[in-house]
């Protein structure tokens, strides 16, 4: 009502401008214990190959199961971790858990790459390549099965530092992907000199691909650009079959999105492997047909 609008206490709630809300302060206070207590959990979202129509890998996406609040999404607590110095332990937790899960799947005959998201701060930990090498070793995980996803803006924050860490990871055989591609402001000249293997087109350009001509143009140019630079291209946010069809026509390499599969906890993704047309069993049968 008009009366309410003129009330100085009446404001729209936008968490971006509310760094110290009671909820944030509480979460901040509890995050360290959550990391140590294993209250974090990885969900896995399938990544599908356009060439075969089957799963080729999974992206690990962290969730926090809070005893009182329930499930909390990374968009809320990863920024808190980044600002409070807890991002290093958070990233290390993820970097240990994902290879452990890789090994468990590998023992079951399920061979998938696993993508893990890193933060800009992780690129300033000069020991991170050695830490990762040790974990891969522990789980007998080939380095090329691990894909590290880093956003454009993170890479641009300190290009020289980023380049040196990325070069060491690349030398180890680990794959590198630029996440949320198109939302940052990286220069092509700079991209060309980074040892990356993959770009992931941000979902904001993909979700409405079938109805928004500008999005379609951006996605097409990005795929062509990626291929010109020798990179593989993944589209995020494929929500409809129309999106899948257009991306296939445009020559995109891989897709993630709700149309194929949502991020799921391990028990549920295992079931998805069995039951989905894009999943594991289909893959095994497909390979039998071929050879």
Query: Which residues of the chain form contacts with Mg ion (CB under 5 A)?
Result: 117, 149, 179-180, 236
Interacting residues with ligand C2E between 52 and 71 (CB under 6 A): 61-62
Minimum distance, C-beta of residue 2 to Mg ion, in the bound complex (Å): 39
Contacts of 32 (CB under 8 A, 6+ apart): 86, 89
Nearest alpha carbon to residue 178 among 236, 125, 105, 130: 236
Interacting residues with ligand C2E between 263 and 282 (CB under 6 A): 263
Q: Beta strand pairing status for 232-235 and 113-117?
A: unpaired
Nearer to ligand C2E, 101 or 107 (CB): 101
Q: Counting contacts by CB under 6 A, is residue 180 touching ligand C2E?
A: yes
Determine contact, residues 216/186, Cβ cutoff 8 Å. Answer: no
Q: Please name the residue ranges forming H helices in 56-148.
A: 74-84, 87-107, 128-138
Q: Counting contacts by CB under 6 A, is residue 236 touching ligand C2E?
A: yes
Query: Which of Mg ion, ligand C2E, none lies near 97, with the C-beta cut-off 5 to 8 A by kind?
Result: none
251: alpha, beta or left? (left if phi > 0; alpha if psi -120 to 50): left
Nearer to ligand C2E, 33 or 107 (CB): 33
Nearer to ligand C2E, 5 or 33 (CB): 33
DSSP for 10-28, please give it.
Answer: -----GGG-TT-HHHHHHH
Give the integer Cα–Cα distance in Å for 141 and 113. Answer: 10
What x-and-dash track marks residues 1-40 binding ligand C2E by CB under 6 A? ----------------------------------------
Nearer to Mg ion, 198 or 236 (CB): 236
Q: Counting contacts by CB under 6 A, is residue 117 touching ligand C2E?
A: yes
Minimum distance, C-beta of residue 254 to ligand C2E, in the bound complex (Å): 13
The half-sphere exposure of 99 on its side-chain side, counting CA atoms within 13 A, is 24
By CB under 6 A, name the binding residues for ligand C2E. Answer: 45, 61-62, 73-75, 78, 91, 94, 117-119, 149, 179-180, 203, 207, 236-239, 256-258, 263
């Amino acid at each position: 009502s008009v009366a309410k609008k003129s009330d100085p206490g009446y404001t729209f709630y936008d968490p971006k401008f509310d760094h110290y809300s009671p909820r944030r302060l509480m979460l901040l206070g509890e995050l360290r214990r959550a990391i140590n207590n294993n209250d974090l959990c990885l969900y896995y979202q399938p990544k599908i190959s356009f060439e075969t129509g089957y799963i080729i890998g999974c992206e690990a996406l962290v969730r926090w199961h809070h005893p009182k609040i329930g499930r909390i999404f990374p968009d809320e607590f990863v920024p808190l971790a980044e600002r409070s110095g807890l991002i290093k332990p958070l990233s290390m937790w993820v970097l240990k858990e994902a290879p452990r899960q890789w090994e468990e799947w590998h023992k079951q005959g399920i061979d998938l790459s696993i993508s893990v998201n890193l933060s800009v701060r992780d690129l300033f930990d000069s020991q991170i390549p050695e830490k990762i090498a040790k974990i891969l070793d522990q789980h007998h995980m080939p380095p090329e099965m691990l894909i590290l996803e880093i956003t454009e803006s993170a890479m641009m924050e300190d290009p020289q530092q980023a380049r040196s860490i990325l070069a060491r990871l690349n030398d180890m055989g680990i794959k590198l992907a630029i996440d949320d591609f198109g939302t940052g402001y990286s220069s092509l000249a700079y991209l060309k000199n980074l040892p990356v293997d993959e770009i992931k087109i941000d979902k904001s350009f993909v979700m409405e691909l079938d109805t928004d001509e500008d999005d379609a143009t951006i996605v097409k140019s990005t795929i062509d650009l990626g291929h010109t630079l020798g990179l593989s291209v993944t589209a995020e946010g494929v929500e409809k079959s129309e999106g899948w069809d257009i991306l296939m026509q445009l020559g995109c390499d891989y897709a993630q999105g709700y149309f194929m599969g949502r991020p799921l906890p391990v028990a549920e993704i295992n079931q998805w492997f069995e039951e989905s047309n894009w999943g594991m069993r289909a893959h095994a049968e497909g390979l039998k047909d071929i050879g």
